[in-house]
C-alpha cells in the first residue's frame, strides 16, 4: 500500500487524440480531468471505449501526463510525522496530501495546488540526519513540485 498521484493529460480537450472515440456523444472529461464514458447510458460500449483509450494519445491508456508513486504507507507516515512538528508551515500537505499513506480517489484543486507551491519551497529547508530519509524527502519534494507545475500549467487537478 502507498500513495500515488497523477495529473491527467489535456489531449482530448485540445483535439490531439489519434482518432475520434467511439460514441463521442457519451465521452466527457470528469471532475478529475480524466476522459471518461457515460457507461450508465443504455448502449454505451465500454469495451470499444477502453480499446480506443489504449491508443488514443501518447499518454497511455490512463491518459496520465505525469504520475508518481509518492511513497509507501510507512514512508508517508514518516513524512507526516516530520512535517507535523511544524504543521502551520504545511497546511495543504498535511491536510490534503499526506494525511494518510494510502488514500485514493481524492484530488487537489487548482487553488490547492497553487497554495502548495510555497509549502514545497519550505519543504526544501527541511533536512534529515539519515541519508535515506533525506533522499526520500527530496524525492517527494521533486515529485510534488512536478505534479504542481503540470497541474497549474494545463489546468487540471492532482489526483490521488
**Sign of the four-CA dihedral 118, 124, 128, 132:** positive
State residue 1's pLDDT score: 84
- Bridge-partner residues for 8, per DSSP? 64
Segment 109-124 shows an average pLDDT of 98
Assess whether pLDDT exceeds 90 at residue 33. yes
For every residue of the chain, which 3-state class applies, written as one string?
CEEEEEEECCCCCCCCCCCCCCCHHHEEECCCCCEEECCCCCCCCHHHHHHHHHHCCCCCCCCEEEEEEEEEHHHHHHHHHHHHCCHHHCHHHHHHHCCCCCCCCCEECHHHHHHHHHHHHHHCCCCCCCHHHHHHHHHHHHHHHHHHHHHHHHCCCEEC
| CA–CA gap between residue 29 and residue 114 (Å, rounded) | 22
pLDDT digits 0-9 by tens, 42-91:
999 999 999 999 999 999 999 999 999 999 999 999 999 999 999 899 99
Q: Confidence band (pLDDT; 50, 70, 90) for 113?
A: very high
Amino acid at each position: 500500500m502507498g500513495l500515488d498521484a497523477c495529473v491527467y493529460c489535456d489531449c482530448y480537450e485540445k483535439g490531439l487524440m489519434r482518432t475520434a472515440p467511439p460514441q463521442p456523444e457519451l465521452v466527457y472529461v470528469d471532475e478529475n480531468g480524466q476522459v471518461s464514458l457515460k457507461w450508465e447510458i443504455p448502449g454505451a460500449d465500454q469495451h470499444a471505449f477502453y480499446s480506443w483509450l489504449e491508443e488514443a494519445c501518447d499518454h497511455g491508456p490512463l491518459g496520465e501526463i505525469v504520475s508518481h508513486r509518492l511513497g509507501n504507507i510507512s514512508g508517508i507516515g514518516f513524512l507526516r510525522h516530520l512535517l507535523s512538528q511544524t504543521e502551520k508551515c504545511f497546511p495543504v500537505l498535511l491536510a490534503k496530501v499526506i494525511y494518510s499513506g494510502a488514500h485514493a480517489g481524492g484530488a487537489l484543486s487548482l487553488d490547492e495546488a497553487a497554495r502548495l507551491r510555497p509549502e514545497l519551497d519550505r519543504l526544501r529547508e527541511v533536512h534529515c540526519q539519515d541519508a535515506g530519509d533525506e533522499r526520500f524527502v527530496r524525492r517527494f519534494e521533486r515529485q510534488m513540485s512536478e505534479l504542481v507545475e503540470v497541474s497549474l500549467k494545463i489546468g487540471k487537478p492532482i489526483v490521488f
